[in-house]
Structure 1
Amino acid sequence: MRSAGGPAGSGAEGLAAAMTNVYSLDGLVVFALLLVCTCAHLRHVPRIKSWLLGEKRGLWGVFYKAAVIGTRLHVAVAVACVLMAFYVLVVK
């Protein structure tokens, strides 16, 4: 039953419909690719490299490991970025 004051998608139904895509696989892949590409690019900036990518373990080690993946697998990461861009822009 719709309320008289709000749009059709308001309330719990609208919130549930908006929250279904929060944890989608393609969103996680885009986030991972952006993290890897950003950390690989920031690895070439000396001040940021010592500050952000100095630790190899713990929470800050995730950025270091993403930078290593981005530099060693740059061809595969570039191909994955192009394929993901095609998927997001054309397919989805």
Structure 2
Amino acid sequence: MSALFNFQSLLLVILLLICTSTYAHQVIPAIMNRNNSGVFGIFWKAARIGERLSPYVSICCIAMAISLFLQ
């Protein structure tokens, strides 16, 4: 089953995108800041979500890890 049809897998992919984009923005901010529109703007927006909502994102990551561990 692909990640588009399984809701839990889709949430996992979105969380990984947010966490990866936030990390990449902190390591190399110049690349992320100049690509804030267009197709690569998705990564810039995900980095902003990760920076501004980091406590909620980390709680979601922990909850997802627990739910995957209990399966």
Task: Give the TM-score, by structure 2 length.
Answer: 0.88
Superposition CA RMSD, Å:
1.0
Residues 53-85 of structure 1 deviation map (CA, whole Å, 9 limit, x = unaligned):
121111100000000000000000000000011
Q: Could you tell me how far 1:33 is from its partner in structure 2?
A: 0.2
Q: Larger helix proportion, structure 1 or 2?
A: 2
1:15 is matched with none
Equivalent residue in structure 2 for 1:85, among 58, 65, 68: 65
Note the C-alpha offset of 1:50.
2.0
Distance 2:15 2:42 in 1: 13
Segments of 4+ moved more than 2 angstroms: none
Larger Rg: 1
Larger relative contact order (CA 8 Å, sep ≥ 6)? 2
Percentage identity across paired residues of the two chains: 31
Gap runs ≥5 in structure 1: 1-20
5+ unaligned residues in a row in structure 2: which ranges?
none
